[in-house]
Amino acid sequence: MKTLISYVAVAIFVIASSFTIDVQQNLNHQSTYNCFNYLRGHRQGKSGVSLTWSVNDPTIDHFQIEVLYEGMEDTPVEVGEPVKFNGTAPYKVLLTDVFPGNMTYRVTAVRADGTFECSPLEQVKIMQRK
Task: Give the structural domain span for 59.
Answer: 2-126
Question: Which residues 6+ apart lie within 8 Å of 81 measured at CB?
Answer: none
Is-contact 105 39, C-beta < 8 A?
yes
Question: Which residues 6+ apart lie within 8 Å of 93 measured at CB?
Answer: 50, 51, 65, 80, 83
Q: Tens digits of per-residue pLDDT, 62-102? A: 999 999 887 776 778 888 889 999 888 799 999 887 878 88
Is-contact 78 64, C-beta < 8 A?
yes
Using only C-alpha atoms, what is the Rg of the chain? Answer: 17
How many domains, in total, are found in the chain? 1
Q: Tens digits of per-residue pLDDT, 26-46? A: 555 554 457 999 999 998 887
Q: The domain spanning residue 71 has which CATH number?
A: 2.60.40.10
Q: How many CA atoms lie within 13 A of 125 on its CB side?
A: 1
Q: What is the pLDDT of residue 31?
A: 46
* Residues written for the chain: 130
